[in-house]
């Protein structure tokens, strides 16, 4: 009888040890993220359960054997793999992590894009922030007609801002989101102002892209420059904007436009063609679009960079006054040997 009691006691002890190991060694075992408070973990749209386990193990967050056993026990896998970015904290246990992943508690991420001149640049900037690759986004941007635009006007769809979306957003998902944001931006008030200017939203964005390219430092000049170009448009005078010539050449490192550059036969060359170019020469900021919509009324028809004044412009109403300003600026360029 005594031996039986000892045997049963030993069995119970072994059972306690096993249960304790399972509870503390697996269920309550902390994930490993080193000394960090939190880390990001990404599950791709194409990932399957074994891929998730492999990546967790590869990053040293869990040991694949015990975690796989626990995941199977709690029915994690198969259809409840949710792609996206997850934030793991150092307090998480294996048990917490299974519940966390199984419930698909994915993060919203913040994406931004600014200083974008071409669709290719836009694809590159956005492609580094969401799951969709640069190539996948570029392929979607090449389908401008799908969204009612052509290649030249498609840049006007995109309004630089800070947007919240899920990391696993596709190229198509990104553009569709921008369509919604564009409609939201072009509210009744802005549409009314554009209508009074006899311009479409695309034309306003095109003009804003030129204004921002002419002046990217001093915002107080934006409504003045917008008014100047609107004066030229009303009078049928060519815009003669240097940034449009730079865009036509596609060389954004160009610091100075010479007469030889003005000979390029491109609809973007506003020294050669009347009116606005076919589309924006960059993605203009919303602040610049609003500055165009709230342009300043004046008599200026000419502008020239001021020498040694850090990016400000001298404005003129007559050609004689403008030529005087231009000579000062050209002399300064030559003195500084700026080519």
Domain that holds residue 169: 108-185
Residue range 162-187: mean pLDDT, rounded:
97
For 222, residues 6+ apart whose C-beta sits below 8 A from its C-beta are 211, 212, 215, 287, 288, 291, 292
* Residue 19 near residue 13, CB atoms below 8 Å: no
| pLDDT bucket at 149, cuts 50 / 70 / 90 | very high
* Residue 88 near residue 33, CB atoms below 8 Å: yes
What is the enclosing helix (H) or strand (E) of 14?
A: helix 2-22
Q: Quote the pTM value.
A: 0.86
pLDDT at 299 over 90: yes
282 in a domain, yes or no? yes
Cα gap 278→129, rounded to integer Å: 30
323 in a domain, yes or no? no
**Of 102, 120, 147, which residue is a domain's last?**
102
Q: How high is the pLDDT of residue 332?
A: 85
Q: How high is the pLDDT of residue 27?
A: 55
pLDDT at 325 over 50: yes
Q: Is 81 left (phi over 0), alpha (psi -120 to 50) or beta?
A: beta
Cα gap 316→303, rounded to integer Å: 6
* Residue 166 near residue 108, CB atoms below 8 Å: yes
Pairing type for strands 162-166 and 38-43 reads: unpaired
Q: Are residues 35 and 67 in the same domain?
A: yes
pLDDT at 15 over 70: no
Q: How many degrees, rounded to 5, is the angle at CA 39 between CA 57 and CA 169?
A: 95
Residue range 210-231: mean pLDDT, rounded:
97
12 in a domain, yes or no? no
When comparing pLDDT for 75 and 218, which is higher?
A: 218
Residue range 218-241: mean pLDDT, rounded:
97
Q: Are residues 65 and 151 in the same domain?
A: no
Q: Are residues 165 and 259 in the same domain?
A: no
Model confidence over 264-284: pLDDT tens digits?
999 999 999 999 999 999 999
Q: How high is the pLDDT of residue 93?
A: 93
Q: What is the CA radius of gyration of the chain?
A: 30
Q: Are residues 154 and 193 in the same domain?
A: no
124 in a domain, yes or no? yes
Q: How high is the pLDDT of residue 48?
A: 94
Residue range 3-10: mean pLDDT, rounded:
47
* Residue 84 near residue 167, CB atoms below 8 Å: yes
Model confidence over 28-67: pLDDT tens digits?
889 999 999 999 999 999 999 999 999 999 999 999 888 9
pLDDT at 4 over 50: no
Residue range 106-110: mean pLDDT, rounded:
96
């Amino acid at each position: 009888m005594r031996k039986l009691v000892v045997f049963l006691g030993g069995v119970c002890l072994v059972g306690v040890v096993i249960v304790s190991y399972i509870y503390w060694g697996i269920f309550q075992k902390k994930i490993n993220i080193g000394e960090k408070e939190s880390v990001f973990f990404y599950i791709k749209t194409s990932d399957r359960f074994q891929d998730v386990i492999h990546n967790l193990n590869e990053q040293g967050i869990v040991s694949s054997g015990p975690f796989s056993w626990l995941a199977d026990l709690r029915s994690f896998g198969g259809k409840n793999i949710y792609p996206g970015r997850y934030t793991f904290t150092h307090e998480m246990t294996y048990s917490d992590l299974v519940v966390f992943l199984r419930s698909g508690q994915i993060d919203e991420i913040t994406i931004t894009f600014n200083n974008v001149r071409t669709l290719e640049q836009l694809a590159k900037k956005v492609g580094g922030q969401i799951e969709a690759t640069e190539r996948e986004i570029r392929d979607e941007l090449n389908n401008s007609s799908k969204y009612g635009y052509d290649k030249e006007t498609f840049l006007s769809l995109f309004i630089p801002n800070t947007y919240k979306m899920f990391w696993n957003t596709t190229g198509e998902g990104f553009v569709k989101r921008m369509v919604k944001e564009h409609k939201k931006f072009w509210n009744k008030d802005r549409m009314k102002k554009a209508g009074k200017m006899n311009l479409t939203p695309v034309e306003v964005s095109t003009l804003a892209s030129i204004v921002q390219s002419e002046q990217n430092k001093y915002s107080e000049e934006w409504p003045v420059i917008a008014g100047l170009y609107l004066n030229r448009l009303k009078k049928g005078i060519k815009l003669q904007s240097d940034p449009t010539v730079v865009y036509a050449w596609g060389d954004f490192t160009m610091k100075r436009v010479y007469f030889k550059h003005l000979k390029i036969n491109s609809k973007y060359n506003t020294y050669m063609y009347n009116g606005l170019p076919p589309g924006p020469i960059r993605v203009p900021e919303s602040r610049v679009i609003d500055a165009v919509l709230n342009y300043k009324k004046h008599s200026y028809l000419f502008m020239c960079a001021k020498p040694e004044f850090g990016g400000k412009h001298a404005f003129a109403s007559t050609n004689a006054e403008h030529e005087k300003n231009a000579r000062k600026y050209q002399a300064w360029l030559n003195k500084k040997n700026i080519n």
